[in-house]
Amino acid sequence: AALGWIPFIRHFAYFGRLRPSLLWLAFASGSVTLTLLVVLRRSILAWLRGFLPLETVSPTMPLTRTQRLVMGGVALGYLALHLNSHLQVRQAMWLPDSIDYIFPATTYGWTEAGLWMHTKPWGAAVLYKLTGSSPTVIDAVQEGLSALAWMALGWVFARFLRPSWLRVTAFGLILGFSLAPAVQMWNHIIQSESLSITLMIAILATWMMLLQTWRWKTWLVLLFLFAWWIGTRETNIYLALFVAGILGLIGLFYKRQRFYWVLSLVLIWFCLFNLRLSEKSVLPHWLYPLTNTILHRILPRQEFVQYFEAHGMPVTPELMALSGGYADSGDFAVFNNNALNDMERWLYQHGKQVYILFLLEHPAYTFLSPWQNLGVLLSPDGLGRYAPPLYKPPLPWLFGSLLFPDSLWLVAGLTLAALAAALFGRIWRAGPLAWLIIGFLTLFWPHIYLVWHGDAAEVGRHAIQASIQVRLGLWLIVLLGLSSHLSKPPLHS
């Protein structure tokens, strides 16, 4: 009967006569299906259990009283540092893009399209809808959510480790890592970075909980976190598609992991839904970053300009005058200068498709340019300019230099340490946890490509989540490798 929504079928001569019969058929088939589900519920549940790890529990060791007390003391000190940071800053700092999140949060209701389809992804706007527009409240909430997510990750991960001293060390290291200026300062800024980082950490912690003990409510929490994270930043949409693809492959080889196919399908739906939302806004989310990229990276290189001109881009003296600039150059000339109306129209109608084709037809540029600019992505200069003037990071020599190394050479050293720990500790013996961490770290590679080719402006800020991802992933591998190497008997699943 629902086929009547299709015009071709609705206007079919005999559809009106058949519709009552179709309605009765739908009712009868639904009743039969419901009856079979009730009668055969035990057989169906028994069949479904073959695809769910309901009885699979990863090996964890209960924390001793001493460990709980020490870790509780570390957590209290950690919360005190967060509170002190909030009292120093008081109010979250505004950046030029902050209005793109505050305006929809304060202007539109929950059921109005403007909240969900403004010029930026809806994730941060929804948070600010809940907190209100007070910079003081926003600062406190972002600090609090971040602290909870990092403590959850530290606590859950520590329970996977065998040596007692390493558990406390891992818990303190993870909390200390989150106090690095490159991580903590975003909690004091009205932007989407803080929420996106917090949700990424919460997803990792929740997934680890799911590995420890399978629970439906934990799985539903994971779905909720993924949905919000996908709606927080454009790059998260494509990263979630990578996650969905990996989960689909895992299900092909491991029967008891096929429940992740459901998660994979839900992630794909979330991603497609958010991509649809991004196209429905007054200014498509991809338009401004694409304009940045064309002006800053394409126009300065004559061979690239010739390629785009051959694909319809109107190359005029007014456009070339913006070479090396960004979308806001010349008082947003691309969008406000009548002489560039043809360029603006081309961007709307063909810009995205031509840019994707350009990346496909220039593989050397596509694959090598992020590596040639790895310092800009992972160790950018001037990142501290985003921090509020009153922000003073706690123990920057420890948290900001040692645990979160800024230098690429130190990151390379941490990479070698992680590789050595993985090989000597044979972390694959840790089972699903090891593969979860390896997968988390592996997603760094598509992440930097998405950031680099997605927007030419403020690359360091846009890449901060990837910077945290790679450093945290390496530290987790080091800790897991040490635990696996020192455990007697070896840690296994």
Residues 216, 173, single domain; the answer is: yes
Among the ranges given (167-176, 213-222, 436-445, 450-459), the one the predictor scored with the smallest mean pLDDT: 213-222
Among the ranges given (149-163, 250-264, 279-293, 454-468), the one the predictor scored with the smallest mean pLDDT: 250-264
Residue 23 lies in a domain: no
Please compute the mean of the pLDDT values over residues 348-372 and round it to a whole number: 93
Residue 327 lies in a domain: yes
Residues 353, 426, single domain; the answer is: no
Residues 322, 247, single domain; the answer is: no
Question: Per mean pLDDT, which of 66-75, 404-413, 468-477 is the most reliable?
Answer: 468-477
Residue 45 lies in a domain: no
The CA-based dihedral angle spanning residues 290, 293, 296, 297, taken in that order and rounded to the nearest 10 degrees: -140
pLDDT for position 11: 54
Percent of the chain at pLDDT > 90 equals 56
Which residues are CB-neighbours of 204 under 8 A, at least 6 positions away?
153, 436, 440
pLDDT for position 491: 45
More confident site: 21 or 217: 217
Question: Residue 257: which domain range?
Answer: 68-283+377-486
Residue 369 lies in a domain: no
Confidence of residue 400 (pLDDT cuts 50, 70, 90): confident
pLDDT for position 4: 45
Residues belonging to the chain: 493
More confident site: 387 or 1: 387
Residues 336, 229, single domain; the answer is: no
C-alpha–C-alpha distance, residues 410 and 402, integer Å: 9
The burial class, CB within 10 Å (0-12 / 13-18 / 19+), for 461 is buried
The whole-chain average pLDDT of the chain stands at: 86
Confidence of residue 3 (pLDDT cuts 50, 70, 90): very low
Q: What is the pLDDT of residues 104-163, one digit of tens each?
A: 999 999 988 888 888 889 999 999 999 999 999 999 999 999 999 999 999 999 989 888
Residue 333 lies in a domain: yes
C-alpha–C-alpha distance, residues 223 and 263, integer Å: 7
Element counts in the chain: helices (H) and strands (E): 27, 0
Of 361, 395, 415, the residue at which a domain comes to its end is: 361
Residues 297, 269, single domain; the answer is: no
Residues 309, 418, single domain; the answer is: no
Whole-prediction pTM: 0.85
Of 180, 164, 188, 171, residue with least CA distance to 76: 171
Residues 340, 465, single domain; the answer is: no
When divided into structural domains, the chain yields a total of: 2
More confident site: 277 or 75: 75
Of 328, 361, 394, the residue at which a domain comes to its end is: 361
Confidence of residue 297 (pLDDT cuts 50, 70, 90): very high
Residues 230, 97, single domain; the answer is: yes
Residues 325, 472, single domain; the answer is: no
Helices within 282-349 (DSSP H only): 287-293, 302-310, 317-320, 329-336, 341-346
Please compute the mean of the pLDDT values over residues 197-216 and round it to a whole number: 92
Residues 343, 261, single domain; the answer is: no
pLDDT for position 280: 76
Residue 83 lies in a domain: yes
Among the ranges given (35-49, 137-151, 186-200, 359-373), the one the predictor scored with the smallest mean pLDDT: 35-49
Residue 36 lies in a domain: no
| pLDDT exceeds 70 at position 50 | no
Residues 344, 449, single domain; the answer is: no
Residues 471, 452, single domain; the answer is: yes
Q: How far apart are the first and last CA of the chain?
A: 51
Residue 57 lies in a domain: no
Helices within 159-215 (DSSP H only): 164-178, 181-184, 193-212
Q: What is the pLDDT of residues 414-424, one digit of tens each?
A: 999 999 999 98
Please compute the mean of the pLDDT values over residues 186-194 and round it to a whole number: 94
Please compute the mean of the pLDDT values over residues 277-297 and round it to a whole number: 86
